[in-house]
A = this chain, B = another copy of it.
Amino acid sequence: MDSQTPFTFSSRANQITSSAIREILKVTTRPEIISFAGGLPSADGFPVAELRQAFDVVLEKQGKVALQYGPTEGYGPLREWVAQHKSTDGVTISPNEVLIVSGSQQALDMLGKLFIDPGSKVLVESPSYLGALQSFSMYDPDYVAIETDEGGLIPSEVSSDKAAGARFIYALPNFQNPTGRTLNAQRRQELVERCAAANIPVVEDDPYGELRYAGTPQPSLLHLGRKAGATVIHLGTFSKVLAPGLRLGYIVAPTAIIDKLVQIKQATDLHSSTVTQMAIYEAIKNNFLEQHLPTVRELYKRQCQYMLDAMAEHFPEGVKWTKPEGGMFLWASLPEHMDAQKLLAKAIERHVAFVPGEPFYATGNAKHNTFRLSFVTVSEARIREGIAILGQLIREEM
């Protein structure tokens, strides 16, 4: 800050720059833009009537409790629900191993607070989720890139050299943001074994795990890790299975970690909304998700197929893309000499938006020919129109 400014920000705050995605998303709120940039779930999948009913029942029957301060750990029955929901494959999770948080993004911030000192080594997939990089960066870590290929994170990349002294590894094994890739069971097993041997916790971020619409479900790192003696911190959210505007998620981890996170959460925001926690529990307590999720999966599967079909029709040879088995995103690669940032500038002139790959790379090793496409927010017709325009622009540049 210059000497005229009547305040001095922390060095942390001075380092934050408005993210590339944030700037793009500002443009994409204009209604004429066909945006494949955002990560907004389709509102068609929100169970509006059921949530309306749930808020009403909670405020009618337990209004004074629902509007009062609550425990920092979260609403007891919801913690129990999460514990039960995550207890499978011979692994039992206790409610004491569950902390309710204000969305997965808050979990990421709190993990930064818990684990990262300035210069702490943190292993991240290359590329990785931009929102996580933003949260962790507040605490000034030293990122180490774990390379990925078509099968996602390459476990042998977690070498004893890279792992030595690392505070944790951050991984998204299911339909990764940004690539849409999924780790197979063998890679998962090798990953948790390597982390157990190296004594580093695995943060398993799993916002999309329930949104699988193709292929075979894979065991979670949480379960494999418990059996292999690895410390796994599992992050889940109600944003994709119910609705993101509720801002609720959860952390499953050993009690020594949960207990410390509870102290951190108390200093961060006391606790997450009582009424929202109670309404979510009311909505899902009688197996509502079992009825609801097939609808969401079917919706997302259709949306994904619209985009894959349009890309097959309109994208020229030399462009590659992933075929996700779930989630919201796919990842395209232009021929290596091309730059997705330049493509974006032209695309926005034609009212189409996406996110170039560069900000997803933590360590400056970006592949500038890559970009992320979200297929869940835009209608079939607009997907076809937008992809056709991108195809045309790519051809012009090749």
Interface residues of A, Cβ cutoff 8 Å to B: 5-13, 16-19, 22, 40-41, 43, 46, 48-49, 51-52, 55-56, 59-60, 63-70, 102-103, 105-106, 109, 113-117, 120, 131, 134-135, 137-139, 167-168, 196, 199-201, 230-231, 242-247, 256-257, 260, 263-264, 266-276
In angstroms, Cα B10 to Cα A243, docked, is 33
- Is the pair B267, A131 in contact by a Cβ cutoff of 8 Å? yes
Tell me the minimal C-beta distance from A224 to chain B in angstroms: 15
Tell me the minimal C-beta distance from A58 to chain B in angstroms: 9
Nearest-CB residue, chain B, relative to A8: B167
Q: Which residues does chain B contribute within 8 Å of A5, judged by CB atoms?
A: 256
Tell me the minimal C-beta distance from A4 to chain B in angstroms: 9
Which residue of B68, B69, B138, B269 is within 8 Å of A102 (Cβ)? B269
- Is the pair B63, A55 in contact by a Cβ cutoff of 8 Å? no
22 A-B pairs with CB atoms under 8 Å apart are: A7-B168, A7-B199, A9-B115, A13-B264, A16-B263, A18-B263, A40-B68, A43-B64, A43-B65, A43-B67, A48-B67, A52-B55, A55-B56, A55-B59, A66-B245, A103-B269, A105-B267, A105-B269, A113-B138, A138-B267, A245-B273, A247-B273
- Is the pair A10, B138 in contact by a Cβ cutoff of 8 Å? no
In angstroms, Cα B272 to Cα A106, docked, is 11
Nearest-CB residue, chain B, relative to A268: B109
Tell me the minimal C-beta distance from A206 to chain B in angstroms: 17
